[in-house]
Copies of this chain bind each other. A is one copy, B any other.
């Protein structure tokens, strides 16, 4: 690992030398991203990847992703969680809830996740993301093994029973239109990397299932870093 870093730094130094030479002789200023994804992930002892949580409202995406993030932090890893709170009111605040805007919402979240993995970070995203085509498009942004679809496989009746935000009640009353699971379809993942049964397991066990996946796939080590 270390020799790769040294090698890269040598290349960067050569490049900077070339830049200085070009600037002084030809006034040409090229550039490159000197600090790469590989350098960052080596230093962090983690493989950047995205844990893409998908599932109905109330299926446990936010709760479980937060629990996983905390566990990763405690193990010494660097993560970032993208969810409605920090995305919908910020970078995507120009988007509404039309079909077109929903697709654009997911596209941008995919690009965001990509930038964060490029920064060496393990990204968690918590969005319903109900359509296969959208999830497939996002998956295509990533390299092999980097995109991990985490299906929160919680039955609709359980989600509706929880109804933590009172949204199902509103949807049933017709106050919210195009609500996933009620009058808009949730397309089940065909081959999610991880399927989490939140109605059968507690929060801790669900989070551990995801941590175990990361360890088994050598995205993080088994020990604290």
Contact = CB atoms under 8 A, between A and B. Distances in A.
Interface of A: 9, 12, 16, 19-20, 23, 27-35, 39-40, 58, 60, 62-63, 66-67, 69-70, 73-74, 78-82, 85-87, 90-91, 94, 104, 108, 111-112, 114-116, 118-121, 161-164, 202-203
Contacts of A33: 66, 69, 81, 85-86
A86 B62 contact: no
20 contacts: A16-B70, A19-B203, A20-B202, A20-B203, A23-B203, A27-B163, A27-B164, A29-B58, A29-B62, A32-B66, A33-B86, A78-B78, A78-B119, A78-B120, A87-B115, A91-B108, A91-B112, A112-B115, A116-B119, A119-B119
A25 to B, nearest CB: 12
B115 A35 contact: no
Contact of A121 (B81, B86, B119, B203): B119
A19 B34 CA distance: 44
Given A19-B203, A94-B104, A34 B66 contact: yes
B69 A31 contact: no
Contact of A35 (B27, B69, B82): B69
Nearest to A31: B62
Given A27-B161, A39-B73, A203-B23, A90 B63 contact: no
Given A19-B63, A20-B202, A27-B162, 16 more contacts: A19-B203, A28-B164, A29-B62, A30-B164, A31-B63, A33-B86, A34-B66, A34-B73, A40-B78, A86-B115, A86-B118, A91-B91, A91-B108, A91-B111, A91-B115, A94-B104
